[in-house]
């Protein structure tokens, strides 16, 4: 009888360990996608802000200040369309199409956010990015390691290959929103 009880306990522990390993692998994929997307956004924003031909394609300087061109308006609103596309069509998309849409979204966000580098000082943008990263990392670590029930905070913890893209998109959007909020609060304008 005791051997039977031990086998049941070992089986439960093995199942829990397997679930924990699966969750860790899933969250690693989510955070890798998010980190890659943030890096792509930053590189594209830097390239657009520092390449006069691209900058002139997206923005024009007027007496009222920096104004978007027609292409600039398209680049500003295209990320919204891509988020809606991913939200409503992810189940019917292939893994490759979902990833391509996600990476295109991150690149478009970089082009859209390039104006930040023209309005705020580089030191201000860098400081705000690092404060956001530290805050986000701390909150993520707390959420991952806490024993508290965090189900009320959203349903990021679901499995599947396309789920990693959607989880990364949700975290990416959270990061960008925190960054923009803090930049408005902490940023020094040029």
How much is the mean pLDDT over the chain?
A: 83
Q: Is the pLDDT of residue 174 over 50?
A: yes
Quick one: average pLDDT of 5-24? 61
Query: What average pLDDT does the segment 13-27 reach?
Result: 69
Q: Are 45 and 116 in contact (CB under 8 A)?
A: yes
Assess whether pLDDT exceeds 90 at residue 41: yes
Q: With cut-offs at 50, 70 and 90, classify the pLDDT of residue 61.
A: confident
Is residue 107 within 8 A of residue 182, CB to CB? The reply is no
- pLDDT reported for residue 188: 81
Residues 6+ apart with CB under 8 A from 110: 40, 41, 42, 43, 44, 45, 47, 48
Instruction: Select the highest-mean-pLDDT range: 16-20, 112-116, 138-142, 157-161.
Output: 112-116
Residues 128, 182: contact at Cβ < 8 Å?
yes
Report residue 16's pLDDT band, with 50, 70 and 90 as the boundaries: low
Query: What local confidence, expressed as pLDDT, does residue 124 receive?
Result: 92
pLDDT of residue 80: 92
CB neighbours (10 Å) of residue 103? 15
Residue of 163, 160, 154 lying closest to 86 (CA atoms): 163
Predicted local confidence at residue 190, as pLDDT: 74
Q: Is 158's pLDDT higher than 50? A: no
Angle at 167 between CA 164 and CA 168, to 5 degrees: 85
Per-residue b/e over 153-166, b at no fewer than 16 CB within 10 Å? eeebbeeeebbbbb
CA–CA distance from 181 to each of 64, 65, 66, 99 (Å)? 24, 22, 20, 27
Categorize the per-residue pLDDT at 127 as very low, low, confident or very high, splitting at 50, 70 and 90. Answer: very high
More confident residue, 100 or 20: 100
pLDDT 10s digits, 65-89: 889 999 999 999 999 999 999 889 9
Query: Residue 182, Cα to own-chain centre: how many angstroms?
Result: 16
pLDDT at residue 5 greater than cutoff 50: yes
């Amino acid at each position: 009888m005791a051997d039977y009880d031990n086998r049941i306990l070992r089986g439960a522990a093995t199942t829990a360990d397997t679930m924990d390993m699966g969750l860790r692998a899933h969250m690693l994929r989510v955070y890798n996608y998010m980190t890659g997307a943030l890096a792509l956004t930053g590189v594209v924003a830097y390239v657009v802000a520092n390449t006069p031909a691209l900058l002139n394609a997206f923005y024009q300087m007027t007496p009222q200040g920096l104004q978007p061109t027609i292409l600039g308006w398209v680049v500003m609103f295209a990320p919204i369309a891509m988020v809606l596309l991913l939200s409503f069509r992810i189940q019917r998309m292939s893994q490759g199409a979902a990833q391509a849409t996600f990476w295109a979204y991150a690149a478009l966000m970089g082009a859209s956010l390039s104006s930040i580098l023209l309005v705020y000082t580089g030191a201000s943008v860098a400081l705000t990015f690092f404060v956001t990263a530290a805050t986000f990392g701390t909150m993520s670590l707390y959420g991952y390691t806490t024993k508290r029930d965090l189900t009320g905070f959203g349903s990021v913890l679901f499995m599947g290959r396309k789920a990693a893209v959607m989880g990364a998109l949700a975290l990416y959007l959270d990061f960008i929103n925190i960054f923009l909020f803090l930049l408005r609060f902490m940023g020094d304008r040029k």
